[in-house]
Amino acid sequence: AESMMIQSDKLSIAGQLAAGIAHEIRNPMTSIKGFIQLLRSGFGSKEQYYEIISSEIERIELILGELLILAKPQGIKFERRNIRVLLSQVITLLNTQAILNNVEIQTDFRDQDMDVECDENQMKQVFINFIKNAVEAMPGGGMITISTRSLEGELLIDITDEGSGMPEDILSRLGEPFYTTKEKGTGLGFMISKKMIEEHRGTVEVKSKPEQGTTVRVMLPAVYNAAAI
Ligand code: ADP
Ligand code: MG
C-alpha cells in the first residue's frame, strides 16, 4: 500500500508540474515570438527587443535548469555524511553572495555526534535553496542563523532569517510549483527541496511572521556516530 501511495503522489506532482511547465514556458515563448515579429517589421528599438528576447530565453533556461535537478534521480547515492561539514561547505559556497547582500551567516552546531544518510548533492541543493530564499527575503541585509541539534533520533536543522516573513496566504501556497512572489523567481526551489527531504524520509516545517522573519526546519533521521566525540 505504501508504494502505491508514493506512486500516486508522484503522478500528481508530475501532473501539476506538466501544467505549470506548459504555462511557464509558453509565456516567454509568446513574448519571444512577438518581439521577433516586431524586429521583422523594422519598427521601434532593435536593441531593446534583443534585450527582452534574451532575458526571456534566460528565464526559460532558469526554469529548465531547476527542473533538470528534479529529473535526475538515477545519480542518487545514499552515504553517511556529517551534516555540519556539509552545511559549512554550502555556507562557503554562498558566502560571497551573502556578503554582497549585506547578509551575515552565523552557525550554532550542536550534537556533533549525529550523522545523516543522504545523497550529498541533493542535500547541498536543498540547503542552497533554503539559504538563498533567506538571503532574498532580506533585501536590506541581516542575519541568517543555521543551527543543528538532535532530538529523539532525529536531526533538526533550522535556517532562520530576519527577513520579510510570509503572511498566511503566501505561506499556504509555499511549495506549490511555480508559485513565486519574486520578479526573477521560479517558484520551484522550495517544492524541489521539500520533495528531496521527503525522499530522505525527512520533513520540512516553516514558521513565519510578516516583517519578523522565517524559520525553515528540516528534520532528518539521524545516525549516531561515536567516533565524532
Ligand atoms: P522562488 O525563490 O523562486 O520564488 P521558492 O519555491 O524558493 O521560489 O519560494 C516560493 C516563494 O515563497 C517565494 O517567492 C517567497 O515569496 C516565499 N518564500 C520562500 N522562502 C522565504 C523566506 N525565507 N522568507 C520569505 N518568503 C519566502
Ligand atoms: Mg527560492
pLDDT tens digits for range 184-196:
899 999 999 999 9
Average pLDDT, the chain: 89
> Mutation test of ligand 1: which of 133, 158, 173, 188 has the most ligand atoms closer than 8 Å to its C-beta?
133
The pLDDT of residue 193 = 94
Residue ranges around ligand 1 (CB below 6 Å):
129, 133-134, 137, 161, 163-166, 170, 174, 179-182, 185-191, 214
pLDDT value for 140: 96
Q: What is the pLDDT of residues 111-165, one digit of tens each?
A: 878 899 999 989 999 999 999 999 999 999 999 999 999 999 999 999 999 999 9
The Å distance, Cα 229 to ligand 1 centre, comes to: 37
Residue type, 50: Y
Three cell numbers, residue 44: 521601434
Residue 92, pLDDT score: 92
Amino acid at 66: E
CB 67 within 8 A of CB 186: no
* Mutational pocket test of ligand 1: of 180, 195, 208, the residue with most ligand atoms within 8 Å of the beta carbon: 180
Q: Establish whether this prediction's ipTM goes over 0.90.
A: yes
In the sheet that holds 223-224, the strands lie side by side as: 79-82, 114-118, 223-224
1 pLDDT more than 50: no
Per-residue pLDDT averaged across 77-84, rounded?
A: 93
Confidence band of 3 (pLDDT split at 50, 70, 90): very low
Q: Residues within 5 Å of ion ligand 2 by Cβ? A: 133, 189
Q: Which distant-in-sequence residues (6+ apart) come within 8 Å of 196 by Cβ?
A: 122, 123, 125, 126
